[in-house]
Structures are given as C-alpha cells and as structure tokens.
C-alpha cells in the first residue's frame, strides 16, 4: 500500500473513532506556520481532549523520514506535541490506544508505540 492510500485509511479510522483531526499533509493547507522551518510538519494532527496533540507522519513500509521532518518533530515536541511515524492503519490505531485506551491498554500500546516515536 502506498503512502496516500495508508493516509486515507488512517483518516477513515480517525473518522470512525470520532477523533478531532487535521490533514496537514498538503502545502498551503490548514497549517501555516511562521517559523524558520519550512516543510516537515506531520501529515496528520490528532487533537485529543486533555492530552497533548499527536502528530502522525505517514510513511509507506519502505519510506524514509527526512531531515526536515526530524527537525520539525523535535521543534513540536519541545512545545508538547508527540510525533509518531506510522506505516499502517494498525500503527495509527496503536498510537491512538496509547492515548485513549484503558490504563492497561495504554501501557501495552505505549510499549508498541514507543518504537514509532519520530
């Protein structure tokens, strides 16, 4: 599955689970940041109640994270946002469970999601 198809499927998951989210993958789209960093913002942003925002950088199974993406993730994490690289709908679901599941579910999901931190 290519990156666009994975991203659409993750969007469907976010809709189905009632999440508040933004597609921030298109240049000139929802997010216009006034910062020295240009490019590299995560593809999707999930806004969770009483939790920090979650950035999902969608990559195909063999896709690589670029230097600007890593740099921007560090910048966002200093502000409290968590950024993850997801390569499938299952990865995105694991990340969501790390923030929204039961205590036991969150622990198990964090163990798996930790491998996806950008």
Give the predicted TM-score (pTM) of the model.
Answer: 0.83
- Please check whether residue 46 is in contact with residue 21, taking contact to mean a CB–CB distance below 8 angstroms: yes
Give the mean pLDDT of 99-114.
80
- CA–CA distance, 102 with 17 (Å, rounded to integer): 15
Average pLDDT, the chain: 85
Q: What confidence category does residue 45 fall into, taking pLDDT thresholds of 50, 70 and 90?
A: very high
Residue 1 confidence (pLDDT): 87
Q: What residue ranges do the domains of the chain occupy? A: 3-29+36-116
Residue 47 has pLDDT above 90, yes or no: yes
Q: What percent of the chain has pLDDT over 90?
A: 50
Residue 103 confidence (pLDDT): 77
Give the mean pLDDT of 39-60.
91
Radius of gyration of the chain, Cα coordinates, nearest whole angstrom: 13
Residue 29 confidence (pLDDT): 54
Residue 10 confidence (pLDDT): 94
The CATH number of the structural domain formed by 3-29+36-116 is 3.40.1350.10
């Amino acid at each position: 599955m290519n990156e666009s198809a994975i991203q659409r499927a993750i969007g469907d998951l976010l809709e189905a689970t009632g999440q508040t989210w933004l597609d921030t993958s298109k240049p000139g789209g929802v997010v216009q940041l006034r910062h020295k960093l240009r490019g590299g913002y995560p593809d999707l942003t999930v806004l969770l109640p009483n939790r920090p925002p979650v950035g999902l950088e969608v990559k195909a199974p063999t896709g690589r994270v670029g230097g600007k993406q890593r740099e921007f993730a560090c910048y966002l994490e200093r502000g409290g946002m968590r950024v993850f690289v997801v390569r499938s709908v299952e990865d995105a679901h694991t990340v969501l469970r790390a923030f929204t599941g039961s205590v036991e579910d969150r622990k198990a999901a964090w163990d798996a999601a930790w491998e996806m931190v950008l």
